[in-house]
């Protein structure tokens, strides 16, 4: 009907007329690509929880919180923790996290943020700032400086008793320690020999480790364990007039020494890092031990500048030092923690030595430890 030449001339016009109405065909390959991308996105989200970094950034913090919460529940119902759970808890890198926390705490805080940061800390841990030598929060350059703040003059009264409290804190346990197994809290014990180590500071020897410590065989050992909470005054003082002759530093673990956790882990004080100072006082043997804890990697002793705690290396190493004759007066500043921890006093005294406190009591620096001494000072 139409010649071929005429049809060829009309094709360009028809193409322009029908071009807007025609939709391009979407190939099946594009649809499959979109589905593959969504699948790959879900796969990437899953691998974020399975890679090596996730172990430290997600699983370990989450597992720590869940495990500590579970331990708290079990402690409230007096349930005994198994050895497997204790080993699992000890596997967490508390020494590394404590070193990181120490570096963070030493960082200088801008002046504009100091009031907010320290004010929040004061409200969280009920800090009594009225006892501090400097009450202006902007004075403290870092959290570490705020933790180790000194007391103002007259904030603590040093009792005339022979032995007084070396620090502010809560008494975990106090009383006679007449066996090699000493009670760290009610029903939970630790080994005396594992805690102090080999008796190298005394020339007298005995088959019984306990008897080798006593200068007078009619006396017995007494102990006082005081826990320093994060809101307490973080420095500690000499509890009596005594002479330190030997120091032994155990580079152990840095597990928490919170009272409820001390009920769960037997021998907690024998596995944690600690600095043991041994000497004599008026009744014979006397020792004062500063025990490290989680985020308490730094223990400073002012008369022992060579002491270095929470350093890299093997955990089970032991460093010893002969101090000679280091005399300390009652109430004299001895050292400080960068966070709350524990002070343990183990000393020789007569059998009728009685403490004027009980487990759970709050004590302050310089407070009398004995009932007899309090009656004599009246």
pLDDT at 80: 58
Angle at 361 between CA 275 and CA 276, to 5 degrees: 10
pLDDT above 70 as % of the chain? 72
What DSSP state is assigned to residue 324?
E
Average pLDDT over residues 316-342: 87
The pLDDT confidence band at residue 241, using thresholds 50, 70 and 90, is very high
Cα–Cα distance between 61 and 174 in angstroms, integer? 35
**Known catalytic residue at 9:** no
Instruction: Tell me which of 168, 232, 304, 356 is the catalytic residue.
Output: 168
pTM of the model: 0.74
For the question of residue 234 being annotated catalytic, the response is no
Q: What is the pLDDT confidence band of residue 374, given thresholds at 50, 70 and 90? A: very low
E strands within the chain? 169-177, 181-185, 188-191, 220-227, 235-237, 242-250, 274-281, 284-291, 299-301, 318-328, 333-337, 342-349, 362-363
Answer for the pair 336, 300: CB distance below 8 angstroms, yes or no. yes
The answer to whether the CB of 228 falls within 8 A of the CB of 343 is: yes
Choose among 137, 159, 155: nearest CA to 146: 137
Number of residues that make up the chain:
378
pLDDT winner (highest mean) among 39-48, 89-98, 161-170? 161-170
Question: Looking at 12-21, 71-80, 258-267, which range is the least confident one?
Answer: 12-21
What are the pLDDT digits (tens) for 184-203?
766 677 888 889 988 888 87
Q: What integer pLDDT is reported at residue 376 of this predicted model? A: 40
Between helix 60-76 and helix 83-90 the angle, nearest 10°, is 140
Q: Which of 222, 234, 237, 249 is catalytic?
A: 237
Longest dimension (CA), the chain: 136
Report pLDDT for 263.
75
Q: What is the pLDDT of residues 271-314, one digit of tens each?
A: 888 899 999 999 999 999 998 877 765 788 998 888 888 777 66
Categorize the per-residue pLDDT at 69 as very low, low, confident or very high, splitting at 50, 70 and 90: confident
Instruction: Indicate which residue of 298, 341, 356, 368 is catalytic.
Output: 341
Predicted pLDDT of residue 39: 47
267 torsion bin: left (phi>0), alpha (psi -120 to 50), beta (else) = left
CA distance 153 to 168: 16
Q: What is the pLDDT at residue 201?
A: 86
280 CB neighbour count, 10 Å cutoff = 18
**Could you give the angle at the alpha carbon of 303 between the alpha carbons of 177 and 220, nearest 5°?**
15
pLDDT, position 100: 77
In order, the DSSP letters of 233-272 are --EEE-SSSEEEEEEEEE--B-----HHHHTTSTTHHHHB
Catalytic annotation present for 237:
yes
Provide the residue ranges of all domains of the chain, joining segments of one domain with +.
52-147, 169-377
If phi > 0 it is left, if psi is from -120 to 50 it is alpha, else beta; for residue 76 that is alpha
Question: Using alpha carbons only, how large is the chain's radius of gyration in Å?
Answer: 33
CA atoms of 186 and 173, how far apart (whole Å): 8
Token readout for 82 is 């198994």
Burial state string for 52-63 with b = 16 or more CB within 10 A and e = fewer than 16: eeeeeeeeeeee
Residues 33 and 107: their CA atoms lie apart, in Å, by 50
Beta partners for residue 173, in sequence order: 225
DSSP 291: E
161: nearest Cα among 378, 375, 368: 368
Quickly tell me which residue has 């009685």 as its tokens: 354
């Amino acid at each position: 009907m139409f010649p071929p030449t005429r049809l060829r001339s009309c094709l360009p016009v028809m193409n322009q007329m029908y071009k807007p109405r025609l939709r391009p065909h979407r190939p099946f390959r594009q649809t499959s690509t979109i589905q593959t991308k969504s699948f790959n996105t879900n796969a990437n989200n899953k691998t974020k929880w399975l890679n090596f970094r996730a172990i430290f950034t997600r699983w370990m913090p989450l597992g720590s919180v869940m495990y500590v919460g579970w331990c708290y529940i079990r402690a409230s119902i007096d349930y005994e923790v198994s050895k497997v759970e204790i080993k699992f808890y000890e596997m967490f890198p508390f020494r590394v996290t404590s070193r990181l926390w120490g570096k963070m705490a030493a960082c200088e805080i801008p002046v504009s943020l100091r009031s907010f940061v320290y004010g929040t800390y004061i409200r969280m841990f009920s800090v009594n700032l009225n006892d501090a030598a400097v009450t202006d929060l902007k004075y403290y350059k870092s959290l570490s400086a705020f933790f180790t703040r000194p007391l103002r003059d007259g904030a603590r009264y040093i009792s005339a008793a022979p032995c007084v409290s070396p620090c502010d804190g809560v008494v975990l346990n106090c009383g006679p320690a007449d066996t090699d197994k000493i009670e760290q809290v009610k029903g939970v014990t630790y080994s005396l020999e594992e805690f102090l180590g080999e008796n190298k500071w005394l020339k007298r020897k005995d088959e019984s480790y306990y008897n080798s410590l006593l200068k007078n065989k009619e006396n017995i050992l007494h102990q006082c364990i005081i826990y320093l909470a994060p809101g307490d005054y973080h420095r500690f003082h000499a509890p009596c007039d005594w002479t330190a002759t030997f120091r032994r530093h155990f580079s152990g673990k840095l597990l928490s020494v919170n009272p409820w956790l001390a009920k769960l882990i037997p021998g907690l004080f024998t596995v944690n890092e600690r600095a043991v100072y041994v000497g004599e006082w008026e009744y014979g043997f006397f020792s004062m031990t500063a025990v490290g804890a989680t985020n308490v990697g730094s223990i400073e002793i002012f008369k022992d500048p060579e002491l270095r705690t929470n350093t890299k290396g093997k955990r089970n190493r032991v460093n010893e030092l002969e101090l000679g004759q280091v005399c300390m007066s009652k109430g004299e500043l001895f050292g400080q923690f960068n966070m709350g921890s524990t002070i343990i006093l183990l000393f020789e005294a007569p059998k009728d030595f009685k403490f004027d406190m009980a487990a759970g009591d709050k004590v302050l620096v310089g407070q009398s430890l004995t009932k007899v001494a309090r009656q004599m000072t009246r």
